[in-house]
Amino acid sequence: MHEPRFLLAALFTGRVICHLLKHMYQPLFEPQEDGLEIPEVGSWAETKYRLVGLYDKLFSTGMKDRWETRVYIDLYAGAGYSRIRGKNRLLAGSPFLALSVPDPFDKYIFCESSSPLLEALKKRVRKHFPKADAKFVLGDCNDKVEEIVVHPSKTRQVVSV
């Protein structure tokens, strides 16, 4: 049986995490219908994207002074937006969460196996983040390793996958 102190600490930690997920990280804009491809996801995706966004923010800020170059790689990038199944609610996907961090990455590599989803992502990134150094790779990430891998350079780099 757990001691009451342990249970209180676990309950407190859970509440703190829930608060962080709800209030700490939001993308720079709310997605809007634009006529491009938008895949449907389950309601769980909202929590997933909040966690991914929080991690992106913590990583990009924590590493900004430690590395000359920071590269963000998304192996399953999707279209950039997702629609919650059964609702007419749009969410910013992981590419836009990474592009929205306060301390932006130096380079972004987005891989997606679906051509329509990748084309939608390209158009959205170019519209909302025209100055971002973004590379788009079409295909299964397992088959595109050579194209995705950041080749060593003369500068120090860190990669967030």
Q: Supply the pLDDT for residue 18.
A: 57
Quote the pLDDT of residue 6. Answer: 47
Mean pLDDT over 35-39 rounds to: 97
- What is the pLDDT, as a whole number, of residue 132? 97
State residue 22's pLDDT score: 57
Q: Where are the beta strands (DSSP E) in 1-156?
A: 40-41, 69-74, 81-84, 90-92, 107-112, 134-138
pLDDT range class, residue 7, cuts 50, 70, 90: very low
Average pLDDT of the residues in 21-41: 79
Q: Which residues contact 49 (CB under 8 A, 6 or more apart)?
A: 82, 91, 92, 93, 94, 97
Q: Which fold has domain 4-160?
A: Rossmann fold (3.40.50)
Nearest to 21 by CA among 61, 57, 66, 69: 57
Of 26 and 108, which is predicted with more confidence?
A: 108
pLDDT score at 104: 92
Among 40-49, 59-68, 145-154, name the most confident range: 40-49
